[in-house]
Amino acid sequence: MSPFKVLVVDDERDFLESLVRRLQRRSVDAAGVTSGEAALEHLKVHKADVVVLDVKMPGMNGIEALRHIKQHYPEVEVILLTGHASVESGVEGLALEAFDYLIKPVKLDELIERIMEAFDRRKVVGELTGSPPPDQS
Amino acid sequence: MTRPYANLSRRMTIVALLVALLPLNGLGFSLYYYYNYANTQALKEELRIRALNRASAIELFLAERTALLEVLAHGARLTQLSNESELANLLSIMNRRSWSFVDLGIIDKEGRHRAYVGPYLLKEQKYLDAPWFQQAMQKGVYTSDVFLGYRQVPHFVIAAKHENGSDSWVLRATIDSDVFNRLVRTAQVGKSGDAYILDRQGRLQTPSRLGGKVLDPAPVELGSVAPGSSVVERTTADGRQVLTAFSWICGGKWLLVIDQDPKEILGPLNLARNVELAVLALASLFVVVAVFILVRLFIRQLQRNDEERAAIDAQLAHSARLVSLGRMAAGVAHEINNPLAAISELAGEVQDILVPSELAKLEEGEVVGENLERIQNQVERAREVTHRMLKFARRMEPHLEGIDINDVLRESYSFIEKEALFNNVKVQLDLSPNLPVIKSDRAQLQQVFLNLMDNALDAVGQGGRVRVTSRADGSWLTVKVNDSGPGVPADLAGRIFDPFFTTKDPGQGTGLGLSISHSITQRLGGSLELENHPGQGATFVVRLPNSPPDTP
């Protein structure tokens, strides 16, 4: 298993389940939930280093979820992944310190690359702030 | 000029003419009438004064003669004057100083002409019934109206009575009509004037130059003549407009009448009035010409403004259409991207499971593996379309930096250089060496130029020619991409900037390139236009504002 944990949040179940399984098959420690609320619940119990977050979801949308995550778990890196490239969500997401903003569909290899980059930054930030990733402690 | 402009032009012309001409002509015509009135009043007054003067002169003439006869009648005795040689002597003495007496006679109280000297045979005539005799006997002295008498010649007489107890007689003299008429005639002025005297019955007492002989009825209504002296405007029997002065003389016994043609006297005075009228006409003409010119200029400017506004409106409508299409494209892309992502992951997972060693175990594993690969390829193809649609829809704030357009053009050219070489297309870069650095978005401009060059290469085909020019022109930078291709058919030229419009074969173009380029240039404060010459190639013109990089 990878030295980092990934949480995928998407209301599209077909996409979510398949993606999580594929990540796991590539030895990425991945979990999936289908809503923003569920993601926050998940983070309370299980730690995550990188969250892959859909922007457009029923209930709490991705931007709101991002705001909560950054508020409670500032060390967690978030990659926004959406089908819709609206300027507002992109700009707002980056302003809220999302690591990246990707548009679906994205190739799995590319996504994993971005996740690793995000984890790299998390590691650097963690060392600087004295909050290293859990597996290295 | 179209109808609404013609209507407006007419209304403006009418209002402007009314506003300008009404006061001007009001002033002009009131001056005109004032001139007329003042001149006529002055003339009337002058005429009245003359009538008064002449009336005094005539009264004086008659009063002197009446006084003379009165003195003679009083001082002489009948026996003395009955002697005709004495009487003739007296008449010649009286006339020695041109006293204008024609004859002299003595009439006793029975009305018998006792003595007479003069040109007529009137001795022993009876005058008991003659009005002048009766009046003289009654009043002492009397001046008669003109009458024919025994001599059958119009004349008038002055009679003075001698009274001494029961002895009374009358001394009578006839006034020389020629002298008297000449005296009256002196009141006449000008070639067309007239002067004469009427009695109370309206008969001429002196001849009228134009109105008739003595004792003819005069063409004047006496009833309406005011007492004293007065002036009226009236029409003569032969239809002329004249001013007429009246002055009663000898206590209302006679009326002195002076006719005057006002035109003859007012002529020179009216010159000023006519000059004023001419100036007025000239000023009015100037006003009319000025109004027409001004209205025409105004309407032309208005029309030009309206046309400009209509063009801007059309441009705005076009932009609004692009924006709404962009939103729609974004929505569509989103709806498609989600299932695409699911398809890609689902197929990918199957690929993960069916690794080549697993596929080999399947009966038709090769087909399965190939189809999974094709599914991914189709997803990739659809992704390209939706991502391009999203790019079009994106309304990101341009990232502005100071850039050299020539740099961007050379860089863009480097991307297509290989393709141009391969297709044997000659690309000529004609770049102005002194372009200013402008503030714009490098990446977006590159997208525009690349798109235009790409299109040009597609348009010219093998062995064509593409020419790229850059110029600084006042406040604008202009980049032109000209190709030697067939140009854009005229009926399609209006639609080439619409999203999804393409003339390329299916699968070769998305129809978004020019649309995106168009919205990019607009967002950067510039424009993208087509200069089309069907059959002679197309020229796409990019205009960018030439703003110094330090302006916000």
Residues of chain A contacting residue B329, judged by C-beta atoms under 8 Å apart? none
Do B334 and A18 make contact, defined as CB atoms within 8 angstroms? no
Task: Share the mean pLDDT of chain B.
Answer: 84
pLDDT confidence band for B5 (50 / 70 / 90)? confident
The one-letter amino acid at A16: L
pLDDT confidence band for A13 (50 / 70 / 90)? very high
Do A83 and B333 make contact, defined as CB atoms within 8 angstroms? yes
- CATH class, domain B400-552, is alpha beta
Task: Please compute the mean of the pLDDT values over residues B167-196 and round it to a whole number.
Answer: 87
Q: Does B337 touch chain A (CB under 8 A)?
A: yes
The one-letter amino acid at B414: S
Q: Which residues contact B437 (CB under 8 A, 6 or more apart)?
A: B402, B403, B404, B548, B549
pLDDT confidence band for A89 (50 / 70 / 90)? low
Do B396 and A84 make contact, defined as CB atoms within 8 angstroms? no
Q: How far is CA A120 from the centre of its chain?
A: 14
Pick the residue from chain B with its C-alpha nearest to A108.
B345
The strands making up B476-483's β-sheet, listed across from edge to edge, are B426-431, B465-473, B476-483, B538-545, B527-532
- Which residues of chain A approach chain B closer than 8 Å at the C-beta? 12, 14-15, 18-19, 21-22, 25, 56, 82-87, 90-91, 103-108
CA distances from B3 to B9, B115, B412 (A): 10, 104, 51
Q: Are B542 and B526 in contact (CB under 8 A)?
A: yes
Q: Are B436 and B472 in contact (CB under 8 A)?
A: yes
Residues of chain B contacting residue A61, judged by C-beta atoms under 8 Å apart? none
Gyration radius of chain A's alpha carbons: 14
Nearest to A15 among B334, B336, B341 (CB): B341
Q: pLDDT tens across B405-455, in order?
A: 898 898 888 878 888 888 888 888 899 888 888 888 777 788 889 889 888
- How much is the pLDDT for A137? 37
A108-129 helix and A13-25 helix, angle to the nearest 10 degrees: 70
B365-393 helix and B262-353 helix, angle to the nearest 10 degrees: 150
Residues of chain A contacting residue B348, judged by C-beta atoms under 8 Å apart? 18, 22, 108
Q: pLDDT tens across B503-523, in order?
A: 666 555 556 678 778 888 887
Give B391-434 as a 3 state SS string.
HHHCCCCCCCEEECHHHHHHHHHHHHHHHHHHCCCEEEEEECCC
Do B390 and A82 make contact, defined as CB atoms within 8 angstroms? no
Both tokens assigned to B403: 């850039």
Q: Are B352 and A22 in contact (CB under 8 A)?
A: yes
Pick the residue from chain A with its C-alpha nearest to B396.
A87
Do B330 and A85 make contact, defined as CB atoms within 8 angstroms? yes
Q: pLDDT tens across A35-56, in order?
A: 999 999 999 999 899 999 998 8
- How much is the pLDDT for B551? 40
Model confidence, pTM? 0.45
- How much is the pLDDT for B433? 87
Gyration radius of chain B's alpha carbons: 60
Closest approach of B531 to chain A, Cα-based (Å): 33
pLDDT confidence band for A128 (50 / 70 / 90)? low
Task: Please compute the mean of the pLDDT values over residues A89-115 and round it to a whole number.
Answer: 83
Q: pLDDT tens across B450-508, in order?
A: 889 888 888 888 888 899 999 988 888 999 999 888 888 877 777 788 766 776 665 55
- How much is the pLDDT for A86? 59
- How much is the pLDDT for B297? 93
The one-letter amino acid at B157: V
Dihedral sign (CA A95, A99, A102, A105): negative
pLDDT confidence band for B397 (50 / 70 / 90)? very low
**What is the rounded distance in angstroms from the CA atom of residue B168 to the CA atom of residue B74?**
10
Q: pLDDT tens across A14-33, in order?
A: 999 999 999 999 999 999 99
Count of beta carbons in the 10 Å neighbourhood of residue B7? 11
User: What residues pair up with B30 in beta bridges, in sequence order?
Assistant: none
Mutate to test the interface with A, among B327, B336, B343, B345 (most CBs of A within 10 A): B345
Return the domain boundaries, chain B. 16-265, 400-552
CA-wise closest residue to A12 among B390, B352, B374, B344: B344
Task: Please compute the mean of the pLDDT values over residues B307-332 and round it to a whole number.
Answer: 73
**What is the rounded distance in angstroms from the CA atom of residue B155 to the CA atom of residue B148?**
6
Q: pLDDT tens across B21-34, in order?
A: 899 889 888 988 88
Closest approach of A37 to chain B, Cα-based (Å): 21
- How much is the pLDDT for B14? 92
CATH number of B16-265: 3.30.450.20
In this model, does residue B395 exceed pLDDT 60? no
- How much is the pLDDT for B322? 67
